[in-house]
């Protein structure tokens, strides 16, 4: 397996964990505050890692040339889906981080649970609400587009086998 393929699968696995963790952490009741805090910090840490991996991936792609996509409409469709996924892989951690910063709760962002990442803005309930909606829409879009991407990959693999 090539380094690019490994990076792809690591990113995909982290996104799957991130989406599941996002829905779980929101559902945890405030009565379990310590668990909720740990889940949120894990979610934030994975988001930072995904952002960094995506930046690495974009630099690697820029230095390495083509993407290996097929010619014709299949390749153009795949390129469009990849572009949407890459935008989401950068936008979701950004909106999540800014949402944390704007949160009225004032909870810090701790990378790996111990390294404080300074928030660039202070609490802002109105901005928090808008970012929360954006982050949720991005999550659902990531789920739908990611599943479509996976299905297309399986279909292409099946076609190549026959």
Q: Which long-range contacts (CB under 8 A, 24 or more apart) does 95-103 make?
A: 95/131, 95/134, 95/135, 95/138, 96/43, 96/44, 96/47, 96/135, 97/44, 97/47, 97/48, 98/127, 98/131, 99/128, 99/131, 99/132, 99/135, 100/44, 102/127, 102/128, 102/131, 103/128
pLDDT of residue 60: 83
The rounded distance, in Å, linking the Cα atoms of 81 and 112 is 31
Residue 61 has a pLDDT of: 78
Q: pLDDT tens digits for the chain (162 residues)?
A: 688 888 889 999 999 999 999 999 999 999 999 999 999 999 999 999 999 999 998 988 788 755 566 677 777 887 888 899 999 999 999 999 999 999 999 899 999 999 999 999 999 999 999 999 999 999 999 999 999 988 888 887 777 776
146/135 Cα distance (integer angstroms): 16
Which residue is it, tokens 């994975």? 46
Taking the C-alpha atoms of residue 22 and residue 17, their distance in angstroms, rounded to an integer, is: 8
Q: What pLDDT shows up at residue 67?
A: 59
Distance separating alpha carbons of residues 36 and 24, to the nearest angstrom: 9
Q: How much is the pLDDT for 44? A: 96
Report the CATH number that the domain containing residue 90 is assigned in CATH: 1.20.950
pTM above 0.85, yes or no: yes
Question: H helices within 3-124, ranges in order?
Answer: 3-27, 33-64, 72-102
**How many domains would you assign to the chain?**
1
Cβ–Cβ under 8 Å, residues 50 and 18: yes
Distance between CA 1 and CA 7 in Å, rounded?
Answer: 10
Find the domain containing 115 and state its range: 3-161
């Amino acid at each position: 397996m090539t380094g690019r393929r490994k990076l792809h699968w690591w990113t995909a696995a982290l996104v799957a964990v991130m989406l599941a963790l996002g829905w779980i952490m929101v559902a945890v009741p405030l009565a379990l505050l310590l668990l909720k805090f740990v889940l949120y910090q894990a979610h934030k840490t994975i988001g930072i890692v995904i952002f960094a991996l995506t930046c690495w991936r974009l630099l690697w792609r820029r230095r390495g040339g083509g993407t290996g996509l097929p010619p014709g409409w299949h390749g153009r469709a795949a390129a469009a889906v990849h572009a949407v996924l890459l935008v989401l892989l950068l936008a979701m951690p950004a909106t999540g981080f800014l949402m944390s910063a704007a949160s009225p709760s004032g909870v810090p962002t701790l990378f790996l649970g111990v390294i404080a990442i300074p928030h660039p803005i202070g609490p802002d309930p109105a901005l928090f609400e808008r970012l929360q909606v954006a982050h949720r829409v991005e999550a659902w879009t990531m789920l739908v587009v990611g599943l479509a991407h996976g299905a297309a990959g399986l279909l292409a693999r099946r076609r190549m086998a026959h």
